[in-house]
Structure 1
Amino acid sequence: MQSIDVSSEKNIDVYNLETSSSEHSYHVNGIAVHNCWCAVGKDNTCGKRYEWQLGNLPFGFDHKYIYSEIGYNFKATDLQAALGVSQIKKLPKFVETRRDNWKFYREHLNEFNEHLIMPEPTAYSKPSWFGFTISIKEKSPFTRTDLISFLDQNKIDSRMLFAGNIVRHPAYMDIRHRVSGTLHKSDFVTKNTFWIGVAPVVTRPMQNYVVEKFAEFMKRYK
C-alpha cells in the first residue's frame, strides 16, 4: 500500500497510516501490491486519481483500484508468504486492535448517519475487521468522490471496496459471462462505498483526527 502521513493542527506528531515510510519499503510495497505509484512524498502526480471515468465504471472511481489485468493483482510471492508466517505470533494483538479501532469509528462516525450508511457485523459473529466500510446514501447531497477527495486533501487515505461490480472493470468487460438479476447492489457498492483503515498501526490520535475531518466536511451540508 502507498505510505500516507497524517497530522493535525494540534501538535500531534506526524503518523504513518499504512506501512513503513522508509523509501525502500515504500517502493517495495508499491511494486508488490500494484503497478501504480508516485515518488516518495508525492501523490496523484497523474492528476487522474479521482478525476476520470473509465469504461463502465462510475466517474471518480479511484484508478489505483481498477482491475485492468486478470490475475496479476493477487499474485503473492514466497517472500510475502514468509513475512506473513513470521507475523502469526502477533495475530491475537492485531485482531484485538482492529476490533477496537473499528468500534471507535462506529461510535464516533454514527452522528453522520443522515448521509452515511454504517457497517454492522453479522449476528453472532465477531470479525477481525479488514477495514471500516462506509457507504454514501443515494439521496445525499454529496458523492463518494467529494468525500474521499476531501479526505485525501487532508492526508487521510481510503480504499474502494474491492471491485464492486467486477464486470464493469476493463479486465472483465469483454469476457463471456451470464448476469443473474440487475446487480443493483453491486453497482451501489461500486458507486457509493469505500473504507478507511483500522490496522494496528492506526493510533487513537490518528482516529480523532479522522473524525474531526469528517465533521469538518459534514458541516457543509447542514
Structure 2
Amino acid sequence: MKKEIQLSVPNLDIEIVENLRECIETGWVSTGGKFIGEFEKKIAEYVGVESAVSTQSGTAGIHLALKALGIGKEDKVIVPSLTFVAAVNPVIYQGAIPVFMDCDDSLCIDTNKLEEYLKKNRGKVKAVIAVHIFGNLANMERIMELAEKYGLKVLEDATEALGTYVTEGKYKGHYAGTIGDIGIYSFNANKIITTGGGGMIVAKDEEILEHMRHLSITAKTDSLYFIHDEVGYNYRMLNTQAALGVSQIDKIERFIKTKIINYNLYKELLDEDSPKGLQGIRLLPFNDGLRANHWFYSLLIDEEKLGIGRNELMDRLIGNGIQCRPIWKLIHTLCPYERYEAFEIEKAPYYEKNILNIPCSTSLTTEEVKHVCEMIKKIVKQ
C-alpha cells in the first residue's frame, strides 16, 4: 500500500474536544464567548505585547490594518511579488496601488531595491507590507530605517512566522509581527498552530488596535439598538475557533522544536553540502540572527546538476503519495495585477521556477522524513 504523506496538516489533540463541548453546551458557538478573549490574551503574552485583536482570517487582519493606517484611494503600497496573493488583495480593497518588489535570497523583500525605488519616488509611497516568507524574517532593521527616512507605515505580514523572533541586533527579543506599526498572524489549517481559520492583529498603538477591533465588529456602538458609527466589517473570530486556539498556542514551542529537528534531518539527507545529500538540491536556510519557526521547507532544485527538473520531481513525488508544491506564481504576472508597476523583478522568477516545498507538518515523524528523502533519491536515480 502506498504511504501517503501530506504537505502540512493540523496537529490537534483530543483534549480540544472539551473546549468545543463547552462552546456547544453553553451555546457560545459564534462571535461571542470566553475563548475569544482568552486566545487574544495568550497570543499577546506569547509575542510580548499588551493586547491583540482576533479576526476571521489573516487577510481580514491585513485589510483592517491598511484601513487603520489610513491607506486609501491612489496611495502607493510596496508589496512583494513572491508571496501568497492574500497579502496583496487588501491593497486593492482599499483602492490603493500596489508596487511589486523583488525578493532577496531569503525569499523576503529585497531591501536594496526597496531603497532604490524609494529614492526615485520620494514622497509617493505611503506604506510597505513586509511578508515573512515561510517563517523567515524580512530585514526589519533596514525596513524600519527606510520607513523612518521616507515616512512609511510598516505592516508586517507574519501570517507564516508566528514564533519567529530576533536573537541579535537592534530588535533582539522581538517576535515577528511586533516590530512594524501593525503585525498580522494567521491560523489557517496549514499554519504552525491552527484554529481551522482565523487571524490575529497586534499593533504598537493601542488606540489603532482598538479601532481595528471596533471595525471588525461592524463598527457597532450599541448592541441593543444596532447603532454603527462608521462602515465596519464582519471580521470577527468564532468562539469555536478560539477554543481550538487556546489549546494550540500552549503547544507552539513543542511544534517549533519538531519543525527544527525535521528541517535539520532533511538538510542532512538531501542538501548538496551534506555527505548524504544530492548534488543539485539545496535546502534553503533561514536567516542568521533569528530563532525561526521553520514553518515551510524549501528545496532549491538545480535541474542541470540534479538531472531532473522541479516539475518532474514534484509530479513523481505526488504520484508516489508525497504531497509537495511549487512556490506561488508571481503576483505581478497574475491577470488582476498585470497592469501595476513591478520594479526590477529579477531574482523572484528564478525561485518561482525552481523551489519545491516538501512535507513539514508538526506531526511529521523521523521515519516519514526519511521516506520522503529516500523517495527523492530513488526518483533522481531512475
Taking structure 1 as the reference length, the TM-score comes to 0.61
1:103–1:200 CA distance, 2 compared to 1 (3 A): same
Encode CA deviations 1:180-203: one digit per residue, 9 max, x unaligned: 22x221101111112112221111
Matched residues in 2 for 1:143 and 1:185: separation? 18
Q: Percent identity?
A: 23
Q: Secondary structure of 1:142's partner? A: coil
Encode CA deviations 1:39-64: one digit per residue, 9 max, x unaligned: xxxxxxxxxxxxxxxxxxxxxxxxxx
Corresponding position of 1:104 = 265
Q: 1:19 aligns with which of 9, 15, 22?
A: 9
Q: Secondary structure of 2:368's partner? A: helix
Structure 1: runs of 5 or more not aligned: 8-13, 21-31, 34-64
Higher strand share: 2
Given that residues 298 and 358 in structure 2 are in contact (C-alpha distance below 8 angstroms), is that contact kept between their aligned partners in structure 1? Answer: yes
1:58-69 maps to which residues of 2 (within 5 A)? none
Q: Secondary structure of 1:87's partner? A: helix
1:168–1:136 CA distance, 2 compared to 1 (3 A): same
Matched residues in 2 for 1:17 and 1:144: separation? 16
Q: Which amino acid aligns with 1:19?
A: V
Corresponding position of 2:326 = 160
Corresponding position of 1:62 = none
Q: CA deviation at 1:142?
A: 2.2
Given that residues 5 and 368 in structure 2 are in contact (C-alpha distance below 8 angstroms), is that contact kept between their aligned partners in structure 1? Answer: yes
Corresponding position of 2:335 = 170
Corresponding position of 1:51 = none
Matched residues in 2 for 1:126 and 1:18: separation? 20
| Greater relative contact order (CA < 8 Å, ≥ 6 in sequence) | 1
Q: Which amino acid aligns with 1:137?
A: D
Q: 1:83 aligns with which of 241, 244, 249?
A: 244
Structure 2: runs of 5 or more not aligned: 11-55, 58-83, 94-185, 189-196, 199-236
Q: Which amino acid aligns with 2:266?
A: Y
Count of residues paired in the alignment: 162
Given that residues 6 and 16 in structure 1 are in contact (C-alpha distance below 8 angstroms), is that contact kept between their aligned partners in structure 2? Answer: no
Q: 2:317 aligns with which of 139, 143, 151?
A: 151
Taking structure 2 as the reference length, the TM-score comes to 0.37
Q: CA deviation at 1:214?
A: 0.9
Q: CA deviation at 1:153?
A: 0.6
